[in-house]
Amino acid sequence: MAAEIERTLMPNTYVKLLTQEFHDHAAIAAGTGIAPEELAEYPHPVSVRQHLQCVENILPLRQSPDWHLQWGRRMAEHFHGVVTMAWLTAPTLGDGLDAFIKYMPSRVPYLRWQGSMSETEFSCEVAALIDLGPVGRMLTEVPLIVMYEYARAMRYGSSAAAEINLTYAPPPYHELYVHWFECPVEFERERNALVIPIEWRAAQNADFDEAMWNASIARCETMYTGSDERNTLNKVRQILFNALEDPDQVAFPTLEIVAERLHTSSRTLIRRLRAMDTTFQAITEDVRKLRARELLANQTNRLQDIAKHLGYEDISNFRRAFKRWYAMTPKDYRERILNRL
């Protein structure tokens, strides 16, 4: 699944924006297969792999480690194509966030987006679908500040009642977050999310335009709807991620259970996944692999509890699987990632 996502094409808008921020185009283009002189006006979509390489290449070019938060704030309303038009003309803050969460995967396919409600809060969660390497933290925080800025612009008054949750330990520059978020930023949580009071969803948009809203949503739907195979792949991933996050889930869903939830046969599901160059077993492996990283980033999660959460009754089986994924034990991974952060 990771290889399939890395081959996925996405708009070249983000790469072009990087060329406006940094003038060393040769450094940005290194390892992408794109000529530096073509980067600023590259006429083709870029693959996820090319996009991630460009982002990684700008790390040594930044003047400060919080550059991405500054960039995210400045670009919050300007670089999401038709999704931007949808949330600028949405009836309410809640409608705008729902549109963002639903349609952004078509533009940023390496992240999983999910909204959830309780009696008092609404959470906008972001999680990586593949290993994003050294740019993972940056690419997780940019959509969170974009959604935060949208919520802040859509309603009057203080945003102190909101909260940013991040799964990792505080980075060395954590004191800089206060410049970008007028709300608490909590580290070592179980998810990466913007959390707002539920009543904020009802905030009316002064720029609501019914005709533009309906037209934008129609265009988003056209953009969002892809092939049966790609839709099936995304739905399978979502079912498996949801299963891992459901405290009432007793066993990890089997191929037959997932096929039943998708109202199709196991045979059809296998065929559609094969058309995307993957299998149900490979998707299951990748989902567990990614969820393991999220859980290990939180020091309060015990290894035996993580193993059970991922469907491993025997912790030794989890250790063997993790060593196969990352060439190190879960304990070594946790120590390394926390020391690096």
Write out the DSSP string of 178-233: GGT-SS-EE-S-SSEEEEEEGGGGGPBPTT--HHHHHHHHHHHHHHH---HHHHHH
91, 162 contact by CB (below 8 A): no
Mean pLDDT of the chain, nearest integer: 87
Residue pointed to by tokens 């996405």: 10
For the question of whether the overall pTM of this predicted structure is more than 0.75, the answer is: no
66, 173 contact by CB (below 8 A): yes
Once rounded to an integer, what is the mean pLDDT over residues 138-144? 94
183, 158 contact by CB (below 8 A): no
Cα torsion 77, 181, 126, 156: sign: negative
CA distance 287 to 299: 20
User: What percent of the chain has a predicted confidence (pLDDT) above 90?
Assistant: 47
103, 83 contact by CB (below 8 A): yes
CA distance 279 to 282: 5
Q: Token pair of 159, please?
A: 């945003």
CA distance 42 to 62: 22
Once rounded to an integer, what is the mean pLDDT over residues 40-67? 90
Structure confidence by residue, pLDDT tens digits, 257-298 = 999 999 999 999 998 888 767 889 988 888 888 788 778 877
Structure confidence by residue, pLDDT tens digits, 297-323 = 778 889 998 898 888 889 999 999 999
Q: In terms of C-beta distances under 8 Å and separation of at least 24 residues, what long-range contacts does 218-225 make, across chains too?
A: 219/82, 219/85, 220/82, 220/83, 220/86, 220/99, 220/102, 220/103, 223/81, 223/82, 223/103, 223/106, 224/102, 224/103, 224/105, 224/106
CA distance 238 to 229: 14
* Least confident range of 19-33, 73-87, 275-289: 73-87
Q: Token pair of 328, please?
A: 């190190």
Using DSSP's 3-state secondary structure scheme, residue 129 falls into coil
Amino acid at 309: H
Residue pointed to by tokens 């969170």: 144
Half-sphere exposure of 257 (CA within 13 A, CB side): 9
Per-residue confidence at 241, pLDDT binned at 50, 70, 90? confident
CA distance 167 to 281: 27
What HEC string does 267-282 produce? HHHHHHHHHCCCCHHH
Residue 7: its pLDDT value, please?
Answer: 67
* Least confident range of 94-98, 188-192, 294-298: 294-298
Q: For residue 123, list its beta bridge partners.
A: 116, 195
Ordered domains of the chain (ranges, CATH): 1-61 (no CATH), 65-225 (no CATH), 228-340 (1.10.10.60)
Residue 341: its pLDDT value, please?
Answer: 47
Residues 106-120: b if buried by 16+ CB within 10 A, e if exposed: bbbbbbbbbbeeeee
**130: Cβ–Cβ under 8 A, 6 or more apart, which residues?**
1, 2, 5, 6, 48, 110, 286, 290
Residue 169 clears pLDDT 50, i.e. is over it: yes
CA distance 66 to 122: 26
Per-residue confidence at 139, pLDDT binned at 50, 70, 90? very high
